[in-house]
Structure 1
Amino acid sequence: MIGLLSTAFGVSVASALLPLISVELFAIGLVLKGPEIPWWLLALVIAAGQIAGKLLHYYAARGSIRLPRMFRRKTERERKDSRWREWMEKFRANCRRRPVWTGAVLLISAAASLPPFAAIAVIAGWAKVPLTTFLVTGFIGRFIRFGALAIAPGVVVGWL
């Protein structure tokens, strides 16, 4: 069981970094193959892996991680569209003024992936959302998402 949980953690981190990897399909396959894993433990491990991977997006957008040149922000003099910059600055200020709204958007995105949590992780880093807000709301939302996913096959089988 430890091997399966380690693999689930690795796949969840990889899927957080590379959107082509579907941790949802992996989780469903794991639940169908190994029903001896408690749903809450699987959800806990996958949520932790997802948040660990999304933290890289968060820190990169915040400027704490140095990215390769092709992924870096342009310097101030290279930026041309001041309207976009103004809008983003207003958005950043709005996130600071409305922490409950910010937390709700993070929670909903982490649970439902609408808007996509990968994009929200980047925006949260750029807007300098407090790390604790990002971690707590993101983890709870991801736990809800993958907990529901882990119990879904059992519910469907029990329903039939």
Structure 2
Amino acid sequence: MLTVIGLLSTTFGVSVASALLPLISIELFVVGLLLKGPEIPWWVLALVIATGQIGGKLLHFYAARGAIRLPKVLRRRADREQRPGRWRDWMQRFRATCRQRPLWTGGVLLISATASLPPFAAVAIGAGIAKVPLSTFLLAGFTGRFVRFGVLAAAPGLVGTWL
């Protein structure tokens, strides 16, 4: 039988893995963990998952910024960045909007991190490309992920008290 520390360590690892690989569902893992019934406070579980999720999404964020060198097959060709085009123009306008409207940027990050609409993985990449400040990404992303998984972890207890 796993100890509480072992369960939290496993939960952290799965949350990082699910942040990196969309085929892994941390939500299903949490539901299975809660069905097993460990005596872990909901907020501790949400804190561990949010930390792992943001840690994994930071890799997407930094890769999109160009701070992490990706394998050759995932990199853009250098000559593509030199040519003008609609995508490049749109990204320049998007970067300017993010700089000019930091509350809007933080709101989009918060909503995406909480509801996953638009998918938080895509928003993390977009935030990296747009060079959103790291503090904005961390604060909004962590808060949203904590709320999302806090609600999920607290749901069985809340439903139990209502019934």
TM-score, normalization by structure 2: 0.94
- SS for the counterpart of 2:22 is coil
Could you say which residue in structure 1 is the equivalent of 2:132?
129
Could you say which residue in structure 2 is the equivalent of 1:89?
92
CA distance in 1, matches of 2:159, 2:77: 50
The alignment status of 1:31 with 2:34, answered yes or no, reads yes
Could you say which residue in structure 1 is the equivalent of 2:79?
76
Could you say which residue in structure 2 is the equivalent of 1:106?
109
CA distance in 1, matches of 2:125, 2:46: 23
Q: Percent identity?
A: 73
Q: How does 1:45-84 map to 2 (within 5 A)?
A: 45-77=48-80, 82-84=85-87
Q: Is the 8 A contact 1:62 1:128 kept in 2?
A: yes
Could you say which residue in structure 2 is the equivalent of 1:154?
157
The alignment status of 1:7 with 2:23, answered yes or no, reads no
Q: 1:20 aligns with which of 23, 33, 36?
A: 23
- SS for the counterpart of 1:73 is coil
Structure 2 segments unaligned to the other structure (5+ residues): none
Q: 2:144 aligns with which of 131, 141, 145?
A: 141
- SS for the counterpart of 1:20 is coil
Structure 1 segments unaligned to the other structure (5+ residues): none
Post-superposition shift, 1:158?
2.7
CA distance in 2, matches of 1:102, 1:118: 15
CA distance in 2, matches of 1:157, 1:79: 59
Q: 1:17-67: CA deviations, max 9, x gaps?
A: 000000001111112213400000000000000000000000000000000
| Aligned-CA RMSD value | 1.3
Please tell me the residue identity of whatever aligns with 2:75. Answer: R
Q: Is the 8 A contact 1:47 1:139 kept in 2?
A: yes
Post-superposition shift, 1:153?
1.7
Q: Is the 8 A contact 1:14 1:53 kept in 2?
A: yes
Matched length: 160
Post-superposition shift, 1:83?
1.2
